Structure 1
């Protein structure tokens, strides 16, 4: 097992070195993207997520409801993150005639609406079921 791990380590290091060698000529144009993502995350995204988490923790005392709201926020953030490249710039190539044109802003809006409709539905059903159980007791 130790030999296999050592072999995998050597292969991984060789692949990383080869990737670095290929990246070297484009380092001037790639470096801002490689550094910008973590810096943007650490200066903007992480504090914003922390503040939203603190606010939600104070505003929503029920932990089960908080879990569903958090899941909705995570799903929304994922959809928005995936949609940024499609919404940010126009396509770089002419549309493929075999594929239907898509309205990406509408698709994002529908996706977000479905996520939050499910979250609201679960919260409403949970409240109704909780009240019925409380009334039976």
Structure 2
């Protein structure tokens, strides 16, 4: 097991070293946009650790405590999919033309697409909750 961990650790360490070299090439000589980049690189993990992770932990704990057993797995799945889909749509919701142009992506209404997708996810959650389960005793075989 230690050998496997070492084999997984070494490429990761090499990637960090290569990223450091590339960032050093970008950052020196120092310019104002380098400090903005450092703020962006540090701000993501800090915002995640101080805001997002505690919020998600509290929501998960509340779902575990208060939902009936039949609802737990579908609602948790729906919550995870909601988070992932929102995270993917966030850059285009925040700044519609912030990234490189991608034909077919920027000409769509991102908010409407996200809301429709989330509606499908939560309809699936409701279907999973209310769909009769085999062996649950709710329906008799004919």
TM-score (norm 2): 0.72
Do residues 36 (structure 1) and 43 (structure 2) align? yes
In the superposition, relative to structure 1, how do residues 106 and 42 fare at CA in structure 2: closer, same or farther (>3 Å)?
same
| SS of match in other structure, 1:132 | coil
CA RMSD of aligned residues (A): 3.3
Higher RCO, 1 or 2 (CA under 8 Å, sep at least 6)? Answer: 1
Give the total of aligned pairs.
Answer: 128
Could you list the per-position Cα deviations for residues 71-125 of structure 1 after superposition, in whole angstroms to 9, with x for gaps in the alignment?
Answer: 00000000000000111113158977x6482111111011100000000011111
Residue 71 (1) aligns with residue 74 (2): no
Report the TM-score, using the length of structure 1 for normalisation.
0.74
- Residues 1:126 and 1:50: Cα distance change in structure 2 (over 3 Å): farther
Aligned to 2:21: 21
- CA deviation after TM superposition for structure 1 residue 127, in Å: 7.1
Q: Is the 8 A contact 2:92 2:98 kept in 1?
A: no
- Runs of 4 or more above 6 Å deviation: 93-96
- Unmatched tracts of structure 2, length 5 or more: 28-32
CA distance in 2, matches of 1:78, 1:56: 18
The aligned counterpart of 1:89 is 95
Does the aligned pair in 1 maintain the 2:132–2:138 contact within 8 Å?
no
CA 1:12–1:93 in 2, change beyond 3 Å: closer, same or farther? closer
Distance 1:104 1:18 in 2: 35
Q: Out of 41, 47, 61, which is 1:54 matched to?
A: 61
- Between Structure 1 and Structure 2, the one with more helix by share is 1
Q: Distance in 1 between matches of 2:12 and 2:101?
A: 38
